[in-house]
């Protein structure tokens, strides 16, 4: 394991407190035919400066392959003056940039979105940041890191020679977030098929290793059959909450998926939250069980606890 050694001062926990950094919740939405639709999100396994966020769509129609993803957040730095000068991290007349670094390992893409600039005389400053990722750019999950960087070097005084002075150099991390961005509610992948000889719905569990294989369409999915005569009863156009039949299909499908995972040799590790990869089938099952208090110890208990949970939240 390598360790990065900084040859200049960077943002510290003490300095974080002094500058009064605050960040609002991430807000997510997408667009269809010019209309804006919100995505809901829930945080879990929260640690200091680290959030894991699951995105869901109550309409059960958002798919990142064909829809955009708009992300909005407000950042506040109440006392930026402490970042400047001999006891700060840049020269007094320098400009610090704040940016969002993003990386989607599943999509094999990364980038930086500049949020704004800060100078010593800025006073308390608020950034209302919004950016849009086009359809097809993202897949699976992505990481966000809000950073400070040197946007414009200053004319350092003799007492400031120890401070960073190269444009673009990273000066520290404000917070980090991991987001699951799979579509169709991000609860599980749902696909629509058209097969006249098949029932209204079924589940496909095609993973090989639940500890590593991702919880996405390639490995697990609910198939909804558009060719079935009862397809219209699902009322998919009205959204998830307006379709009791779809809710019951999802509850039944989740029970099947969990029972299938329970047959694996890794069940005890999955329940205890050990040794699985981020974004995997195992992580998703662990999240469902622990976040919503589902009881997996018999098929009857599992079915009852899932439906009780759905009735209380949906």
pLDDT tens digits along 255-280? 999 999 999 999 999 999 899 887 78
Residue 222: CB partners within 8 Å, gap ≥ 6? 188, 189, 190, 191, 201, 202, 203, 249, 250, 253
From the candidate CATH numbers 2.70.50, 2.30.230, 2.40.50, 1.25.40, the one assigned to the domain spanning 13-180? 2.70.50
Query: Which residues of the chain are in CATH 2.70.50 domains?
Result: 13-180
Structure confidence at residue 295 (pLDDT) = 94
What does the alpha-carbon distance between residue 55 and residue 188 come to, in Å, rounded to a whole number? 11
Distance from the Cα of residue 306 to its chain's centroid: 24
Q: Is the pLDDT of residue 156 over 90?
A: no
What is residue 75's three-state secondary structure?
strand
- For 64-121, the pLDDT digits (tens) are 777 899 999 999 999 999 999 999 999 999 999 999 999 876 667 889 999 999 999 9
Structure confidence at residue 63 (pLDDT) = 75
Output 180 or 271, whichever has higher pLDDT: 271
Two tokens, residue 110: 């990364």
Please give the model's pTM, rounded to 2 decimal places: 0.60
Confidence tier at 51 by pLDDT (50, 70, 90)? low
Confidence tier at 239 by pLDDT (50, 70, 90)? low
Pairing mode of beta strands 220-225, 190-193: parallel
Q: Maximum CA pair distance of the chain?
A: 81
């Amino acid at each position: 394991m390598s360790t990065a050694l900084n040859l200049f001062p960077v943002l510290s926990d003490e300095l974080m407190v002094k500058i009064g950094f605050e960040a609002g919740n991430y807000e997510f939405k997408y667009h269809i035919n010019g209309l804006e639709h919100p995505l809901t999100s829930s945080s879990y396994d929260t640690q200091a400066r680290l959030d894991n966020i699951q995105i869901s769509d109550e309409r059960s129609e958002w798919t990142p392959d064909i829809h955009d993803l708009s992300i909005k957040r407000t950042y506040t730095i109440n006392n930026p003056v402490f970042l400047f000068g001999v006891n700060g991290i840049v020269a007094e007349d320098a400009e610090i940039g704040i940016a969002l670094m993003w990386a989607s390992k599943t999509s094999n893409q990364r980038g930086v979105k500049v949020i704004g600039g800060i100078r010593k005389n800025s006073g308390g400053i608020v950034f209302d940041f919004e950016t849009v990722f086009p359809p097809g750019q993202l897949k699976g999950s992505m990481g966000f890191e809000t950073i400070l960087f040197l946007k414009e070097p200053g004319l350092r005084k003799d007492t400031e020679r120890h401070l960073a002075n190269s444009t673009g150099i990273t000066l520290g991390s404000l917070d980090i977030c991991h987001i699951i961005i799979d579509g169709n509610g991000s609860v599980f992948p749902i696909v629509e098929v058209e097969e006249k000889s098949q029932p209204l719905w079924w589940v496909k569990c095609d993973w090989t290793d639940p500890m590593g294989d991702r919880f996405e369409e390639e490995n697990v999915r609910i198939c909804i059959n558009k060719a079935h005569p009862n397809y219209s009863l699902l009322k998919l156009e009205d959204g998830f909450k307006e379709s009791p039949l779809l809710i019951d299909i999802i509850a039944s499908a989740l029970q099947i998926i969990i029972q299938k995972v329970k047959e694996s040799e890794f069940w005890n590790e999955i329940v205890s939250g050990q040794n699985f990869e981020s974004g995997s089938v195992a992580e998703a099952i662990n999240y469902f069980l622990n976040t919503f208090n589902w009881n997996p110890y018999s098929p009857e208990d599992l079915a009852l606890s899932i439906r009780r949970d759905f009735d209380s939240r949906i």
